[in-house]
Structure 1
Amino acid sequence: MSNVANPRKIPKAPFIDDVEKHVGGPEADVEEHMNNFQGAIAKYRFMENNLTQRKGSLEEKIPDIKKTLAMVVFMQERREGKSKASSDDDEDDLEDDLDDDEPGKKPLTTTFELNDTLYAEAELEDSDTVFLWLGANVMLSYKLPAAIALLQCKLRDAQSSLESIIADLEFLREQLTIMEVNTARLYNWDVKRRRDKRLKTEAEDSGGKRKSNS
């Protein structure tokens, strides 16, 4: 394997241009090299599977962060007496009965998800604090501006991680293709070498027999 790697330290696969030179000559044993190629392919496949799982997790996580951020921003704007011109498609449906002249006086009614198929209705108090799940069964309270800053940071980090994973997956696919080509070229070279040896041996045996007959 090459020492060259991508920014996330995934090693770059070397392309074997001269198979005979790589294996050490026309009489070299190819089994060790074949095993090395197969081992490299297995490692790339393992990394690809892990990154694919992480990609799927982030693709589920990012919309949730966006919805949570949109809700907290809405609450902050509501406290500041602002009204949203339109709601994002990703936000939970909100039902705001507020009179234009009395912002923040009436309770805000919304629905929230309990699980994949169960929702509940609740009235939101006019509060400057929200509770955010941080993972591992941990929930902390934040003031609205701090919650917005935290969620924006988490969203940026998640989107950056997703971009890196997508780039790494593309890089891995290229390395897998190179190693599969290397494996095929090594196999074909070995088959040709064995065939040439067999033909040479048959020709020598045939020549020896003709001399004996003469």
Structure 2
Amino acid sequence: MAATASPTTTSTITTIGGDHVPAMPFIDDIELFMAKEGKSAETAIQKLQEQYQGYKLVEQRLLSRKLKLRVKIPDIEKTLGVVTRMKQAQEEGETELRAHYELSDAVYAKARVPLLEQQPVFLWLGANVMLEYGLDEAIALLTSNLRMAQQTLAQLVSDLAFLKDQMTTSEVNIARVFNWDVRERRKRGEGTAGAAGADAESEGK
């Protein structure tokens, strides 16, 4: 939920992906806010829009990371499932596994995988790096990586919700300043028109 604060309240700071992101306080008292800012409505709106764009930039980075994790997590789960199945087969005394593996898109081949007493597996770690692990080591590593990826994804979802709240509050604040400016312009216009009418009436007399 977006923070609600008076214009004199200092915004809270949230750290997101290494960035220090200030919360956007809701402008409750628009008159006090504009008096405190001492700026024109155009300048105040420009400042609010710059903050809004800052939130959008951070949001785009987080959405990109979220998309990558949405792809990465199923891959880790699939690999962990295969290694766990190999470990289970080894413990049950099986000497080989039969599997279908993907050669290319929509093309699969059958394979017979012998199970050794000290069965190694080779895991891609990224950046064209592959390392050999024992089954227990591989299961421990994949389990840890899966847990970290899921925790990171959960944090990203939370951070994105925070950013959405700040952007919504920013949009409302911009609208409030704009509406205040419209009212002020109307007041000044009515005052000028009223004074001109009074002068014309006195001259007629």
Within 2, Cα distance between the matches of 1:162 and 1:54? 9
Could you tell me which residue of structure 2 aligns to residue 30 of structure 1?
A: 41
What SS does the aligned partner of 1:24 have?
helix
Is residue 72 of structure 2 the alignment partner of residue 61 of structure 1?
yes
- Map 1:50-129 → 2, pairs under 5 A: 50-81=61-92, 103-105=93-95, 107-127=96-116, 128-129=119-120
Within 1, Cα distance between the matches of 2:36 and 2:144? 56
Structure 2, unmatched stretches of 5+, are: 1-6
- Map 1:126-205 → 2, pairs under 5 A: 126-127=115-116, 128-205=119-196
Aligned partner letter, 2:110: E
Pick one of 44, 48, 51 that aligns with 2:55: 44
Aligned partner letter, 1:162: L
CA gap of 1:207–1:166, structure 2 versus 1, over 3 A, is same
CA gap of 1:25–1:57, structure 2 versus 1, over 3 A, is closer
CA gap of 1:121–1:153, structure 2 versus 1, over 3 A, is same
> RMSD value over aligned CA atoms?
2.0
Contact 1:26 1:193 in 2 (8 A): no
Contact 2:86 2:97 in 1 (8 A): no
CA gap of 1:166–1:26, structure 2 versus 1, over 3 A, is closer
**What TM-score comes out, normalization by structure 1 length?**
0.83
Query: Once the 2 structures are TM-superposed, how far is the Cα of residue 28 of structure 1 from its aligned partner?
Result: 4.0
Within 2, Cα distance between the matches of 1:142 and 1:62? 20
Could you tell me which residue of structure 2 aligns to residue 91 of structure 1?
A: none
Task: Kindly indicate which of the two structures has a greater share of residues assigned to strand.
Answer: 2
**What TM-score comes out, normalization by structure 2 length?**
0.86
Within 1, Cα distance between the matches of 2:180 and 2:21? 28
Query: Once the 2 structures are TM-superposed, how far is the Cα of residue 112 of structure 1 from its aligned partner?
Result: 1.7
Aligned partner letter, 2:12: V
Task: Note the alpha carbon deviations across 1:109-151, whole angstroms, 9 max, x for none.
Answer: 2112244433232221213110001111111111111100000
Within 1, Cα distance between the matches of 2:35 and 2:109? 70
Query: Once the 2 structures are TM-superposed, how far is the Cα of residue 12 of structure 1 from its aligned partner?
Result: 0.8
Within 2, Cα distance between the matches of 1:154 and 1:10? 28
Query: Once the 2 structures are TM-superposed, how far is the Cα of residue 173 of structure 1 from its aligned partner?
Result: 0.9
Contact 2:48 2:174 in 1 (8 A): yes
CA gap of 1:212–1:28, structure 2 versus 1, over 3 A, is farther
Within 1, Cα distance between the matches of 2:22 and 2:109? 50
Within 2, Cα distance between the matches of 1:135 and 1:149? 18
Report how many residues are paired: 192
Q: How many percent of aligned residue pairs carry the same amino acid?
A: 39
